[in-house]
Amino acid sequence: MPKTIEYLTFAGATGGSPLSPAVRTGDFVWVSGQIPAGADGVIVGHEITAQTKQVMANIEKALALAGCTLDDICKTTVWLQDARDFRAFNTTYAGFFTKGLPARTTSEARLMANILIEIEAVAYKPQD
């Protein structure tokens, strides 16, 4: 099988940023860091629970481009604007996985205005 990189996108996916929402290389799908922006590009919610739900919905949409679901995620990296949001984030995040929890790194980081969370993900889904 030839080695390829498949750049996956959809209209309005990146709000004009120079990136792909997801990239497939072999059996792995790499999801760019997702922020809590709705389809219109506007940040959704002003607290961590609402923003976490929007970020996970965005990840789910990016994964679907490669025929993946959240249960195919093997690793996430999470950045929180405020470490004090960790407990609420953790509870919300855990509810999105039904088969098992992926490996994860979570750090506090200075994020863009009004953004409380960003998550990138790596999924594993063998190609048929």
Contact 119, 34 (CB under 8 A): yes
Residue 50 confidence (pLDDT) above 80: yes
pLDDT for residue 1 is more than 60: no
pLDDT at 54: 97
Please report the pLDDT score of residue 9 as a whole number: 87
**What letter would DSSP give residue 9?**
-
**What local confidence, expressed as pLDDT, does residue 123 receive?**
99
**Every domain of the chain and the residues it spans:** 5-124
CB 60 within 8 A of CB 44: no
pLDDT for 55 equals 97
Confidence band, pLDDT 50/70/90 cuts, at residue 120: very high
pTM of the model: 0.93
Q: How far apart are CA 27 and CA 49, in angstroms?
A: 31
Q: What is the pLDDT of residue 39?
A: 86
Architecture of domain 5-124: 2-Layer Sandwich (3.30)
Pairing of strands 22-25, 73-80: unpaired
Picking from 79, 17, 29, the residue whose alpha carbon sits closest to that of residue 51 is: 79
Whole-number pLDDT of residue 18: 82
Calpha distance 43→34 (Å, rounded): 11
* pLDDT at residue 12 greater than cutoff 70: no
Is 111 strand, coil or helix? Answer: coil
Query: Using alpha carbons only, what angle is made at residue 125 by residues 124 and 128, rounded to the nearest 5 degrees?
Result: 150
